[in-house]
């Protein structure tokens, strides 16, 4: 039985997309989705580039509003930026929510996106796995 996790940030163009892709690629029985509290409407080209380089990119990844995910029942919400933490929406039912902040690489060189990729892989993935697998 799959568990669903929502990765939430402000623009849904870098950190949350990278986290969504890594979770979907690396963690079994967990399906990740990402959204922004104020989505940019685009995936940062360097975020896509780093995911393509490591074989994690899927064509369906895109910047989206939370409303587009309203029919999914989430088992966990993870905010990856302070703004998303402070403006995290209220859901119809109680959902465990945790905050794991990462520096925004937007507007920086490609190497910062690689750094963010590895930070998310090393920090966020074990926490998400621990939070959700314990319930399976």
Q: Which of 102, 89, 104, 100 is nearest to 130 (CA)?
A: 100
Active site residue 88: yes
Residue 80 and residue 104 in contact, taking contact as beta carbons nearer than 8 Å: no
Annotated catalytic residue, options 69, 88, 95, 98: 88
- Residue 77 CA from chain centroid, whole number: 9
CB atoms within 10 A of CB 59: 5
Annotated catalytic residue, options 6, 9, 47, 78: 9
Annotated catalytic residue, options 21, 80, 81, 132: 81
Distance CA 46, CA 112 (A): 9
Q: Give the strands of the sheet with 3-9, arranged side by side.
A: 30-36, 3-9, 76-79, 97-99
Active site residue 14: no
Distance CA 22, CA 55 (A): 10
Active-site positions? 9, 81, 88
């Amino acid at each position: 039985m799959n568990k669903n996790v929502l990765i939430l940030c402000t623009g849904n163009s870098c950190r949350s997309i990278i986290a969504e892709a890594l979770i979907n690629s690396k963690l079994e029985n967990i399906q990740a989705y990402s959204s922004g509290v104020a989505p940019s409407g685009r995936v940062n080209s360097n975020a896509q580039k780093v995911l393509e380089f490591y074989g994690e990119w899927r064509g369906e990844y895109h910047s989206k509003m939370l409303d587009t995910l309203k029919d999914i029942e989430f088992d966990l919400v993870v905010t990856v930026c302070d703004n998303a933490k402070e403006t995290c929406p209220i859901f119809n039912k109680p959902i465990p929510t945790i905050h794991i902040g990462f520096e925004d690489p937007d507007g920086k060189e490609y190497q910062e996106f690689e750094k963010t990729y590895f930070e998310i892989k090393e920090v966020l993935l074990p926490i998400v796995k621990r939070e959700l697998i314990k319930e399976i």
